[in-house]
Amino acid sequence: MRRRSLIAGGGIGLVGAALAAPAIAQSQPEIKWRLASSFPKSLDTLYGGGEYLAKRIAEATDNKFQIRVFAAGEIVPAFQVLDAVQNNTVEMGHTASYYYIGKDPTFSFDCTIPFGMNYRQMNSWMTHGGGLDLLRAFFKDYNIINIPAGNTGAQMGGWYRKEIKTVADLQGLKFRIAGLAGAILGKLGVVAQQIPAGDIYPALEKGTIDAAEWVGPYDDEKLGFYKVAKYYYYPGWWEGQAQLSVYINNGQWDGLPKSYQAILAAACAETESWMIGKYDAENVPALRRLVANGAQLRPFSKEILDACYKATYEFYDETTAKNAKFKAIYDPWKKFLDDEGQWFRVEEQQFDNYMLSVKKG
């Protein structure tokens, strides 16, 4: 089921639901759920996305449907949200699917995979390209309904205690990184570690790790990485976008009135728009502040990007050969990405390149 049809399934969008709130309040039950987030409260865009979602749902149901949001560690650790929802410890979670690739690398498609789609392409694949249908079939085995509910847009390449000029400089690098990129960079000698947001700074400060990536300037400034690692690289080729999702226990979802299902789905879509808009607005002044505080921007060299690209598609070939679930999503995902690239190369890229090259008056 596509998100668009899911939103319309109850016959009303979020705005329509809000207008109908008095009728809903009279006829619908009071429901209280708990939402476990994978993010700390200090990150007001990632964690704040869950709060925004809960607020909009409460407003649209005249407070009949209330969701209480819990930060990472308050109910379950950051990387155990999926298990908590699957086992009905909590009714729902807000998380990033690539935290769970230890169970199956296929999970990564619900968030991002290296050298993949940008936000526009991901949104199109999910809503009109069959992506949500494919992922729903996969998540069904985990007793979960997944709904996109956030996106960071393209991410930065992380903070490094020393410059990374050549592929040889990656050898032995202890790097905090999430998702499939860890396994891919392992082919080039990187020692990847997945660490929750709140534990990254002390690991970087103590030298337990040599480098760390998170999201981008706005969050990275809050986490203080510039104080202990001054080289800030781009682009984050492993995250051309990163979609966050709400995970809902299947039984809990089935027990919701249809109008609440429609309101929840519409609120998720609104949360996604809210989040990427906030990042695009806040990253600009945050990057300026980081540079003013000594951060040194560095682009990854073409040598490094080419080596990472080669290792990435070797990894995809290896994984599709041995994992049928991964292949079932990867093949249509890759075709959609290639087709989108033809359009973006003709129009979007040309417009963006010209606009960025023009000297502003």
Going along the chain from its start, the domains and CATH numbers come out as 3-153+240-280 (3.40.190.170)
Which of these ranges, 23-32, 33-42, 83-92, 276-285, has the smallest mean pLDDT? Answer: 23-32
Question: With 90 as the cut, is the pLDDT of residue 3 above it?
Answer: no
Residue pLDDT, tens place only, 221-273: 999 999 999 999 999 999 999 999 999 999 999 999 999 999 999 999 999 99
Per-residue CA distances from 91 to 38, 57, 61, 81, 251 (Å): 14, 15, 18, 10, 9
pLDDT of residue 359: 77
Residues of the chain with pLDDT > 90, as a percent, come to: 91
Residue pLDDT, tens place only, 120-150: 999 999 999 999 999 999 999 999 999 999 9
Residues of the chain with pLDDT > 70, as a percent, come to: 93
Residue 151 to residue 285: CA distance in whole angstroms: 19
Q: Are 194 and 182 in contact (CB under 8 A)?
A: yes
What is the pLDDT averaged over residues 64-84? Answer: 98
Q: Are 215 and 158 in contact (CB under 8 A)?
A: no
Question: With 60 as the cut, is the pLDDT of residue 23 above it?
Answer: no
